[in-house]
Amino acid sequence: MLYTKPVWDPPALDDVHRLIDRLAFAAFVSQGADGPAVSHLVFVRQDGGPHGTLVSHLARDNDHCALVEAGAPSVAVFTGPHAYVSSSWYPAEPVRDSAPTWNFAVVHCHGRPVPTDDGETARHLHELTSRLERGRESAWSMGELGPGGVERRLPRIRGFRLPIARLEAKFKMGQDERWPDTKAAIGRLEAEGPGEVAAMMRDLNKGR
């Protein structure tokens, strides 16, 4: 269960989906009898169901595969923009008594993995590569592996889907801090970076 507060809720599900799509990379955790297994994987999000579905793959010689094939309870953890916020940035008036903090965005996608057959796994690999290569000069395609190039690799790959049964998201970006303090932190992060955190803070604190 993710600790959060209503003030840190994302404005809409679309905001969560956009963050997942932009990040793609997540820590994938499955619960086994001997404890959790953790792999770091790239995911493609697909529409369908109340929260969407994640599609990914891992090496068949990864012991984590046994838990994927068993449909073990799992969660994909996407970590978005984050940064330390120093109290030294806050204005001195009326007082500078706020503690420093860490602002961050995170998404937890819970579900049970479903193994995919070779055909679906091959389609996933093509879609994944196409998305990641999009917009690149001299973009690479799976076809460059040559005839049978994908098929030769499939025996070493375990593809799977993760229908998202429960979605948790936390965009902690200074919404519960005094506005003069948050405003000062935005200005400092815009000047020094990371700019992504400053942009999220400004967007999530509109109207204050």
pLDDT tens-digit readout, 54-89: 999 999 999 999 999 999 999 999 999 999 999 999
The verdict on residue 1 lying in a domain is: no
The verdict on residue 193 lying in a domain is: yes
CB 41 within 8 A of CB 145: no
Q: What's residue 118's pLDDT?
A: 94
Number of residues that make up the chain: 208
H helices of the chain, in order, are: 13-23, 64-69, 118-133, 149-153, 179-192, 195-204
CA–CA distance, 109 with 178 (Å, rounded to integer): 31
| CA-closest candidate to residue 182, choices 18, 7, 10 | 7
The verdict on residue 145 lying in a domain is: yes
Q: What's residue 138's pLDDT?
A: 86
Give the domain CATH number at 121.
2.30.110.10
How many folded domains does the chain comprise? 1
| CA-closest candidate to residue 78, choices 17, 138, 4, 149 | 17
CB 59 within 8 A of CB 39: no
List of residues 6+ apart from 22 with CB closer than 8 A: none
Structure tokens at 136: 């690149």
Residues of the chain with pLDDT under 50: none
Rounded to two decimals, the pTM is 0.93
Structure tokens at 14: 């679309």
Domain that holds residue 22: 6-204
- What is residue 164's three-state secondary structure? coil
Q: What's residue 139's pLDDT?
A: 86
